[in-house]
Structure 1
């Protein structure tokens, strides 16, 4: 693999420091906001701690997958660029697609002949521009959605109690069903993961054991991978 000298630039390391500083500050701000809003939402401190712990445990699987893919990108993009992009977006597939598109536009293969500082700069700019679009969209639409949320709650509070959950279920079903079309292994993994998740929630409803709900996502992911590996 051919890695341009620019991939280890001190300027990029400064960008890494800035990005992770913002992430830490955001995490602290969100945590404090959650604690302040807990009382008005009738959420106890114990429930809030459980929710945070569940989120942390559930993030291990997806985060590990991103880390493994990021390790394979180090030889092409260098450590600073990988940390900056994955630290902001967390979608290795999007970053790779954007990089391949940018390099292909100038007739160069990532890591191949002609992959110099100029092409690397173009690749990094393309990945950054794509990520910035997501952030700008969030900044623009969040206030609009907040006003819409207030108006709908004033008319019928039950709608906003159901709509977020319905939207999340629809989004995950759409993404999951799209993966099942790729191969038999994908279909087996999706089916096994869904089955294990339903079984765990049924077991939790019967036993009322907190740890089952907290670890259900991680267990389902491991089970889905194991079943898919055994079936294929």
Structure 2
């Protein structure tokens, strides 16, 4: 852990995190400028940015909790770098475990050697390369594929996009609800809170509720899941 939290590792991971922050700044600037070109007003743009910021709170809390577990196993610098790039503790922990297991260790064991630790870091890094390659090589072609699916009918494109988003959420949620009571309760309560908040926002035309709805639903769902885990346990 002295090596895992050393000054040199902090310095070596700083450039990677800096690139992520630079990308975020560039995307925000481009989004704002493109929105202006599309005819959106400053109020609309500010509302969109506020909604995105609030909606990111829930996932950020989940990543932060996962980062605490990762820090305890691979140290602060590597956890900071990996979750800044990929953000998936569900991948990083098993990848690190796979690396150290090749030398007969488990995460959290005493006396893990430098070689075993380096292998864990390489497993995490190389294993996550696929996401980056697919994003880099595939993203420029996604718009053409979306247009082709719409078959020239502009009205179908937002329907296809919404269906794809719903399918992605459904895919992740079905994997969670079959895991146990805390996960199923978290999904159910979070979805119910979202529906109630959107219903209130529509009935009273309150834009600020729409902006906060997703973030609030995710945080409430997170706390419900933790409460169920503590009270009834992880099984059915």
The two structures have a TM-score, normalised by structure 1, of: 0.89
Find the partner of 1:64 among 61, 65, 69. Answer: 61
Change (3 A) 1:144 1:218: closer
1:103 and 2:110 equivalent?
Answer: no
Gap regions ≥5 residues in structure 1? none
Change (3 A) 1:197 1:112: same
Q: Which residue of 2 aligns with 1:90?
A: 87
Find the partner of 1:203 among 176, 200, 203. Answer: 200
1:140 and 2:126 equivalent?
Answer: no
Query: In structure 1, what is the Cα distance between the partners aligned to 2:125 and 2:64?
Result: 19
Q: CA deviation at 1:20?
A: 2.1
Q: Is the 1:176–1:190 Cα contact (8 Å) retained in structure 2?
A: yes
1:180 and 2:177 equivalent?
Answer: yes
SS of equivalent to 1:182: coil
Deviations 1:104-143 (A, max 9, x none): 2332112314511101111001111122211111111112
Query: In structure 2, what is the Cα distance between the partners aligned to 1:36 and 1:140?
Result: 25
Q: Is the 1:15–1:84 Cα contact (8 Å) retained in structure 2?
A: no
1:14 and 2:15 equivalent?
Answer: no
Query: In structure 2, what is the Cα distance between the partners aligned to 1:99 and 1:39?
Result: 44
1:47 and 2:44 equivalent?
Answer: yes
1:130 and 2:127 equivalent?
Answer: yes
Q: Which has the higher contact order (CA 8 A, sep 6+)?
A: 1
Change (3 A) 1:172 1:152: closer
Change (3 A) 1:143 1:167: same
SS of equivalent to 2:4: helix
Q: CA deviation at 1:15?
A: 2.6
Q: Is the 2:96–2:121 Cα contact (8 Å) retained in structure 1?
A: yes
Q: Is the 1:19–1:84 Cα contact (8 Å) retained in structure 2?
A: yes
Q: Is the 1:193–1:224 Cα contact (8 Å) retained in structure 2?
A: yes
Q: CA deviation at 1:208?
A: 0.9
The two structures have a TM-score, normalised by structure 2, of: 0.88
Query: In structure 2, what is the Cα distance between the partners aligned to 1:74 and 1:60?
Result: 21
SS of equivalent to 1:7: coil
Is the helix fraction higher in 1 or 2?
A: 1
Change (3 A) 1:154 1:166: closer
